[in-house]
Homo-oligomer: A and B are copies of this chain.
Amino acid sequence: MGAMTRWLDEDEQRTWRAFLAASRALMETLDRELQRDAGMPHAYYEILVRLSEAPRRRLRMSDLAEASGSSRSRLSHAVARLEAAGWVRREECPTDRRGQLAVLTDGGFAALTAAAPGHVEGVRRHLFDALSPAQVDQLRRISDTLVDHLTGS
């Protein structure tokens, strides 16, 4: 049988609800800004960023999914949209006939270049401007710990 539930004490409750509210509000704000100013959701922006940083601006679908924290299905649908927008195109993978490469087009790079300053400014305004340098450091350590914990088990 399952062990007895380890309920949250009052401090944990407060922390969890605050974290939930903060991350939700931050993500929604940035997503809305990006949609308004650049016509793309944040998930698509991140796909373009990862492609722009890759050698020859191309990545295998699986690697892109991993890099952008996305499921394969999600990425497949997303790339279909990005392809329709002319920002990405697909290429056959030369070494694996199952594979597909997502390639950032010049138009996609231009869209990213246009979107980036506004988005970065949003991240700064809504996140970093609110926190002290010490808090930024704490947040990085906490986040790294959580990622390790979540992807390691």
Could you list which residues of chain A lie within 8 angstroms of chain B, going by C-beta atoms?
2, 5-8, 11-12, 14-16, 18-27, 29, 46, 69, 116-117, 120-121, 123-124, 126-131, 135-151
Contact = CB atoms under 8 A, between A and B. Distances in A.
Contacts of A140: 11, 14-15, 18-19
Mostly, the A contact residues are helix
B131 A145 contact: yes
A16 B69 contact: no
Given A21-B143, A143-B19, A12 B151 contact: no
Given A131-B142, A143-B15, A123 B8 contact: yes
A69 to B, nearest CB: 6
Contact of A146 (B5, B7, B127, B146): B127
19 contacts: A5-B120, A6-B124, A7-B120, A8-B124, A8-B128, A11-B140, A12-B128, A15-B137, A19-B127, A21-B147, A25-B147, A25-B150, A29-B150, A126-B149, A127-B146, A130-B146, A131-B146, A135-B145, A138-B142
Across the A-B interface, the 3 shortest Cβ-Cβ residue pairs: A18-B143, A130-B149, A22-B146
A125 to B, nearest CB: 8
